[in-house]
């Protein structure tokens, strides 16, 4: 039945893009921490950060399209961009929508990076730290089976990984081993 398989697409792409976003955030943290080896030099890790973020956006794109097209739930195209106006779980949807909006902003500003004010780009890029937990909470709230089994395990794993990464970054900032950003 077509409606059920669209739902499967939405669920699958939601889960995978959460995972990919997590990896993106972790790779992004590695940059200022100056992590790099001979086999995995910093420019490679930076390139991976960029490419995996693009991949996660592709999957995220499929996710939002599937959800809007699917007639099983009353989610409209407007709900994808405007938060909290959805007829279906407005709170959890809203969080996802905000997260999606932030990702669009990150995409556009990074594409235009040489042309925009560097400080503006940097401040906006920090909103990725907001975007990620919103996406995760959106999934936990709106996912029909998000609170059991391996989807829950995935969420827990992603959360622990990002907490560890952010913790490392905070410690490094205090010890001044970060790449100093003006």
Partner 1 sequence: MSAPNAEGLRLQVDMIKCVGHASCRELLPERVSLDEWGYPIIETDPLPSDLVTHARRAVAACPTLALRVDGKVARVRTQ
Residues that bind partner 1 (CB under 8 A): 31-32, 34, 36, 41-43, 46-47, 113-114, 118, 179-182
CB of 113 to partner 1, least distance (A): 7
CB of 43 to partner 1, least distance (A): 4
Comparing CB distances to partner 1, the nearer of 8 and 34 is: 34
Comparing CB distances to partner 1, the nearer of 46 and 152 is: 46
3-state helix/strand/coil string of 23-58:
HHHHHHHHCCCCCCCCCCCHHHHHHHHHHHHHHHHH
Classify residue 169 by burial, with Cβ atoms within 10 Å: 0-12, 13-18, 19+: middle
Nearest by Cα to 8 from 140, 144, 148: 144
CB of 88 to partner 1, least distance (A): 40
Comparing CB distances to partner 1, the nearer of 33 and 137 is: 33
Query: DSSP code of 175?
Result: T
* 63 close to 78: Cβ distance less than 8 angstroms: no
* 83 close to 95: Cβ distance less than 8 angstroms: yes
Comparing CB distances to partner 1, the nearer of 15 and 30 is: 30
CB of 118 to partner 1, least distance (A): 6
CB of 163 to partner 1, least distance (A): 24
* 45 close to 31: Cβ distance less than 8 angstroms: yes
Comparing CB distances to partner 1, the nearer of 114 and 149 is: 114
């Amino acid at each position: 039945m077509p409606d059920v398989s669209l739902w499967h697409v939405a669920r699958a792409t939601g889960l995978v893009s959460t995972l990919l976003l997590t990896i993106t955030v972790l790779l992004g943290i590695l940059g200022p921490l100056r992590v790099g080896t001979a086999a995995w030099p910093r420019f490679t890790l930076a390139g991976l950060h960029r490419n995996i973020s693009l991949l996660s956006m592709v999957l995220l794109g499929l996710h939002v399209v599937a959800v809007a097209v699917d007639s099983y739930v009353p989610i409209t195209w407007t709900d994808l961009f405007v938060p909290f106006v959805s007829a279906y779980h407005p709170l959890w949807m809203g969080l996802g929508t905000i997260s999606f909006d932030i990702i669009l902003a990150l995409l556009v500003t990074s594409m235009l990076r040489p042309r925009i004010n560097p400080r503006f780009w940097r401040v906006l890029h920090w909103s990725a730290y907001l975007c990620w937990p919103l996406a995760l909470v959106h999934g936990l709230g709106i996912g029909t089976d998000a609170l059991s089994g391996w989807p829950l395990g995935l969420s827990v794993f992603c959360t622990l990984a990002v907490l560890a990464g952010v913790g490392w970054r905070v410690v490094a900032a205090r010890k001044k081993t970060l790449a100093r950003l003006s």
